[in-house]
Amino acid sequence: MPIFWSKFKKPILALAPMAGYTDSAFRILCLENGADVVYTEMISAEGLARQNKKTLKMLEFLPGEKNVIVQLFGTNPEAFGKATEIIGKRSHRSAVSGPRDDINPIVGIDVNFGCPAKKVFHTGAGAALMNNKKMAREIVEAVLKNTKLPVSIKIRSQVKNTTAEEFIEYLKDLPIAMVMVHGRTLAQGFSGEINYEAIKNIKKLLPKVIVLGNGGINSVEDARIMLEKTGCDGVGIARGALGQPWIFGDIKKYYNHPGPILHRTTPPLKGGDATVAILPFRRGGAPTAVGAEGLKIWPEIKSTMLAHAKLFLKQNENLIPLRKHLVHYVKGLPNASELRQKLIQVETLAELEKILKK
């Protein structure tokens, strides 16, 4: 097992890749809230191989980033090889000057075999590659040949007629360091029941490889169920981290100090006991009886939103692209609808501060 993955205390907590969401600002916020590992958005191997300026910009990092895994997608093994070389040669380039700018936060390269997006799937990339095992293997081999970094893959429980187990059987002799398994099929996309058995089977097939369970993790309870039913080494959290980056800290605190399961979607109150439920609902379920409790933790939500916005502005001219993040923070609050209408129009930090003062 590569030294990088073996250094973490289990369960390992990873911010899974999300196109348009897992940028530098959100990665730092999740790291500060307890994530062990964070992923870039999906990056085109072809774009990197051609040294496209927009694609290369996705390899710029802010001071404070660490344990970043670059996720590549595409269909051309040669392009993956060239992209991997570029990642290896690329020194740390930060968007703003700061201490330790010379440190490269990239610690691994991941190949996407799980994206269900039609625009990706129809090119033969992402989840489509689970049905093209020969090409998938050639891609992984090209990455392994051109890097000394740990190489990992992200897959789904099933894509058309190919199961996760069949796919891994075809690749398991390769020195893959980690496999993240989304417990839903291609047909399910991002909703429906999680196939815990498939994830459990992958761990049995790869006993010496780190396996992370992914899909439907929106709370500490969801993470506990995933870990107990699959025996995996940790979890990859994607949509469940939107609007609640503190989910990583909640899970970590639960496993460090087991107690009642948290059912909240907000940051812990200052000085509060991490094992005490603050809100009687969780993401993914209908909010109930929030009322005064929601208002009580509003200052903590606001401080997180402002911190996120300030980080985001270090790489961006305005907050327009951040709107999709901001609306997630107010889900379940009594005045969520009113706040959303204001947040989808915000452009500057001053405007955001004005909205949050009310």
User: Which residues belong to the active site?
Assistant: 115
* Count of beta carbons in the 10 Å neighbourhood of residue 117: 14
Residue of 317, 316, 318, 337 whose CA lies nearest to 327: 337
Secondary-structure breakdown of the chain: helix, strand, coil percentages, each rounded to the nearest 5? 40, 15, 40
Q: How far is residue 327's CA from residue 331's CA, in Å, rounded to a whole number? A: 7
197: left (phi over 0), alpha (psi -120 to 50) or beta: alpha
Write down the H helix ranges in the chain: 3-6, 24-32, 45-49, 53-56, 77-89, 118-121, 133-145, 164-171, 196-205, 220-230, 247-256, 291-296, 298-312, 323-329, 336-343, 349-357
Tokens at residue 41, please? 């958005």
The residue type found at 134 is K
Residue of 53, 62, 8 whose CA lies nearest to 35: 8
